[in-house]
Chains A and B, each alone.
Chain A
């Protein structure tokens, strides 16, 4: 049984002419799988994430999460966005505690969970700082930690490292793998970085230019225990170039060149 399944999902924006942004998409993610999505810009990757999270409803088709159709954001799904979504009026500690407090968790529970997440994401020295005092990478960690403490069973990440430099991205990738292994969550990662997709995912879905559909799904075959050092392995380059070959034509189309 798939953990999350999309069946014939499309998303059409009304208007004249109406914009067909996505699909139809059929996709099944197994529980605990790490799935990455790459595609040309404007192909509907973020729309796909919105539909999966229940932030937008599909124009046709349905999203099934844990055997129930998604309507509104279901419990058990966490989302990390590309933009900085930290709350500037709260300290790092209170940012991370936000979701737990909203859910009415007891103070002791909040303290324990937040303490663990702060430790895990390497934010110990910044618990009392405000987001404005942190770097972009640190703020994204705060957002990841805020999602993590709610123990989501499905984590959706929309280019979470898009604004970060290359070294930070590799290290954040390692942290994401560690988090994935320790929580056992299913992860869907949207990225524009092919190497990031290849390095992190069990499977990489390659999307077409708009309306976005899956052209191909490529299995990487990595062991569950892995980190960023696999970028130097022989098959890494082969996989990345395979994805790029698939994507190249679509990217050219998306740029409007023939």
Chain B
């Protein structure tokens, strides 16, 4: 990793890679630092993060609820199964015009795409986890007199937590992809919009700075989730 960055720096500095194609990583970092310090893009960053955040939280809540209901409703699940199987074969961005018609030109179409991409990962992983809850735990729930909701919250979901968590991790990734990708297409603010704007104006320092920013952000978020997941799983594994 460090080597690759070093090599890129060297090639850019030596002029092997022309600066109007790629600028040296050190220049990207410098530019990013300047942009962040100037506060010029604070509103864009805030907009993107808010939209991503809404998409993540909504997909988690809707995904877990839908997964929990579907798992105890086999008829509905059988009906929807073909949809689940082909869901990710559909290029979600194709619906962008439709989403604009439905939600207007504000932030909602971006959030909707992030949500639509993310929610299925949560549903599928929640179902997968709930399918693996041992029957004896469900019997135990009944012996303790727990109803549907309490059984879901106290037994089924905690038991399925490692799988649900995998769904959450994917939801975070898909929300970033969905929202930032949608900002490229039609939007008047956000990180994706600024990258696209800089690209169209040959503004390499800004473009690469923002790309670097997204990279660092996503890596940080995923690393934190990974650490959290490891801690969660450590309890369940034999010492």
Which A residues lie within 8 Å of B139 (CB)?
Answer: 55, 79, 81, 85
Which of B91-99, B114-122, B144-152, B180-188 participates in binding chain A?
A: B144-152
Residue B239, interface by CB 8 Å = yes
Residue of A whose beta carbon sits closest to that of B237: A132
Report the minimum CB–CB distance from B7 to chain A (whole Å). 45
Pick from B142, B150, B161: contact of A89, CB under 8 Å:
B161
Q: Is B42 located at the chain interface by the 8 A CB criterion?
A: no
Is B146 within 8 A of A132, CB to CB? Answer: no
* Complex: A99 Cα to B144 Cα, angstroms: 6
B140 proximity list for chain A (CB < 8 A): 79, 81, 85
From B136, B137, B144, B237, A102 is in contact (CB under 8 Å) with B144
B155 within 8 A of A: yes
Judge whether A102 and B154 touch: CB under 8 Å. Answer: yes
Beyond A81-B140, A130-B236, A133-B239, is A87–B145 a contact (Cβ under 8 Å)?
no
Are B150 and A102 in contact (CB-based, < 8 A)? yes
Whether B74 sits at the interface, judged by CB under 8 Å, is no
Chain A residues with Cβ below 8 Å from B143 are: 53, 55, 73, 77-79
Say yes or no: is B82 at the interface (Cβ < 8 Å to chain A): no
Is A83 interfacial (CB 8 A cutoff)? yes
Chain A residues within an 8 Å CB radius of B142: 55, 73
How many A residues touch the partner, as a band? 20 to 34
Q: For A84, give the chain B residue with the smallest CB separation.
A: B136
Q: Which of B185-239 contact A (CB under 8 A)?
A: 235-239
Most chain B CB inside 10 Å of its own CB: which residue of A78, A79, A89:
A89
8 Å CB contact of A87 from B155, B237, B239: B155
User: Which of B142, B143, B158, B159 lies at the interface centre, i.e. has the most chain A CB atoms within 10 A of its CB?
Assistant: B143
B15 located at the interface, meaning its Cβ lies under 8 Å from any Cβ of chain A in the complex? no
Residue of A81, A87, A132 touching B159 (CB-CB under 8 A): A87
B59 nearest CB across to chain A (Å): 23
Partner of A133, one of B137, B145, B238: B238
> Which bracket fits the contact residues of B?
20 to 34
CB–CB B236/A83 < 8 A: no
| Nearest A residue (CB) for B134 | A83
In the complex with contacts A55-B142, A102-B145, A102-B146, A88-B154 CB distance below 8 A? no
> Is A65 engaged at the interface, CB distance under 8 Å to the other chain?
no
Q: For the complex, what is the distance from the CA of A79 to the CA of B137, rounded to whole Å?
A: 12
Q: In the complex, which of the residues A73, A81, A83 contacts B145, with contact meaning CB atoms closer than 8 Å?
A: A73
A85 and B150 alpha carbons, distance in the complex (Å): 17
Nearest B-chain residue to A78, judged by Cβ: B143
**Within 8 Å CB of A98, what residues of B?**
144, 154
A87 CA to B154 CA, complexed, in Å: 10
**Set of chain B residues within 8 Å of A75, measured between Cβ atoms:** 145
Using CB atoms, name the residue of chain A closest to B239. A133
Q: How far is the CA of A156 from the CA of B145 in the complex (A)?
A: 16
Residue among B134, B144, B146, B161 with the highest chain A CB neighbour number at 10 A: B144
Question: Contact between A88 and B236 (Cβ–Cβ < 8 Å)?
Answer: yes
Taken together as a complex, chains A and B put the C-alpha atoms of A215 and B228 apart, in Å, by: 57
Q: Contact at B137–A85, with CB atoms within 8 Å?
A: yes
Q: Which residues of B contact A84 (CB under 8 A)?
A: 134, 136
- Quick one: given A73-B142, A102-B145, A132-B237, are A89 and B136 in contact (CB under 8 Å)? no
Query: How long is the Cα–Cα vector from A79 to B139 in the complex, in angstroms?
Result: 9
Q: Judging by beta carbons under 8 Å apart, are B236 and A132 in contact?
A: yes
- Shortest C-beta distance, A125 to chain B (Å), equals 14
Per the bound structure, the CA–CA distance linking A132 and B159 in Å amounts to 13
A73 CA / B147 CA spacing, docked (Å):
12
> In whole angstroms, how far apart are the Cα atoms of A88 and B238 in the complex?
11
Contact residues of A between 45 and 96, Cβ < 8 Å to B: 53, 55, 72-73, 75, 77-79, 81, 83-85, 87-90
19 examples of A-B residue contacts, CB within 8 angstroms: A55-B142, A55-B143, A73-B142, A81-B139, A83-B134, A84-B134, A85-B137, A85-B139, A88-B159, A89-B161, A89-B236, A90-B158, A98-B144, A102-B146, A102-B154, A130-B235, A132-B237, A132-B238, A133-B238
10 closest cross-chain pairs (CB), A and B: A83-B136, A133-B239, A130-B235, A89-B158, A85-B136, A85-B140, A79-B143, A88-B236, A81-B136, A132-B236
B residues adjacent to A (C-beta < 8 A): 134, 136-137, 139-140, 142-146, 150, 154-155, 158-159, 161, 235-239
Apart from A81-B139, A83-B134, A133-B239, list 6 A-B contacts with CB within 8 A. Answer: A79-B143, A87-B158, A88-B235, A88-B236, A130-B236, A132-B237
